[in-house]
Amino acid sequence: MIHVLVTAKDGQLGQCFQSLVVKHPNIQFVFKSSSDLDITNKVKVEDVFSAHSFDYCINCAAYTAVDKAEEATELADKVNHLGAQNIAEACKKFEVILIHISTDFVFDGERTAPYLEDDITNPLGVYGKTKLAGEQVIAKTLQRYFIIRTSWLYSEYGHNFLKTMLRLANERDEIGVVGDQIGSPTYAMDLADATLQIIASRNTSYGIYHYSNEGVVSWYDFAKEIFSLSNSSIKLNKIETKDYPTPAVRPKYSIMNTEKISQILDSKIPNWKSSLAIAMVNCIKSES
């Protein structure tokens, strides 16, 4: 039996892990919410680790409010950097393998070719900077870790682009969505499944990995497909980033090369369109 701790169980990724428990009878999970386990509290983190005998910790906990982070700098750093440090130090002390979820926001989006894991990082805002600091402290503290950077995460759970578009389709007749930022939408259920494949196979190829669904789209294209699948009659307008200013600057190019993780998974990563169709069905089920 493999014993796994999952933080932030109430977040969209944490909920995806919970839904996959039945597929992994050889893994015993302990799920902790942010109130059960405040990763910014070093003593409480050690208490949780000392009370169990974990083989792995999947750290989904993060401050992900990208725009709010520009003002809540201290809080973002406390969670994304110092919280990651607390988790890493506990993993080292109790000999636990860490799987930490990170982000494409560690890059500046100035490339024109998919980002590799060892490409130079240059985050544009507080969120990306604090997530990168978390990555760096993990790499400094541990030898046995997986850092998985992902992008444009969505699911039938929590607050995300898919849920927002479906809500707006019911509230408005017309919206504008940015068409000059491109990336790869990632279904959180696919990411959770890939993570559990790494654990189930006891893979020891530690390091940094990129995971996103296959395919390249803009936010506009993503929204267009959501409205098409939901048979929405809302009018969708393509706008530019300058037409929708936000406190945080976002990377215009968020494509990441996923060949490295595909090799250790020994499986093809699903295309974003096929995964979106599945997520849409699950959204309908959850609302009915």
pLDDT value of position 287: 66
pLDDT value of position 288: 57
Distance from C-alpha of 204 to C-alpha of 266, rounded to nearest angstrom: 14
Give me the catalytic one of 127, 157, 209, 211: 127
Residue 187 pLDDT level (bands cut at 50, 70, 90): very high
Asked whether the beta carbons of 182 and 253 are under 8 A apart, the reply is yes
Q: Which sign does the torsion angle of CA 137, 139, 145, 148 carry?
A: positive
Model confidence at 103: pLDDT above 90: yes
278 compared with 283, residue with greater pLDDT: 278
C-alpha separations of 22 from 17, 28, 29, 196, 199 in Å: 10, 10, 11, 12, 15
pTM above 0.85, yes or no: yes
Model confidence at 63: pLDDT above 60: yes
Model confidence at 130: pLDDT above 70: yes
Model confidence at 282: pLDDT above 90: no
> In the annotation, is 244 catalytic?
no
**Other CB atoms within 10 A of residue 173 CB:** 8
pLDDT value of position 278: 95
Residue 250 pLDDT level (bands cut at 50, 70, 90): very high
Contacts of 274 (CB under 8 A, 6+ apart): none
Distance from C-alpha of 58 to C-alpha of 3, rounded to nearest angstrom: 11
Model confidence at 84: pLDDT above 60: yes
Number of helical (H) and strand (E) elements in the chain, helices listed first: 10, 12
Average pLDDT, the chain: 94
Q: How is residue 82 annotated by DSSP?
A: I
Domain ranges of the chain: 2-155+185-213+256-270
- CATH, range 2-155+185-213+256-270: 3.40.50.720
Model confidence at 138: pLDDT above 60: yes
pLDDT value of position 266: 80
263 compared with 286, residue with greater pLDDT: 263
Model confidence at 285: pLDDT above 80: no
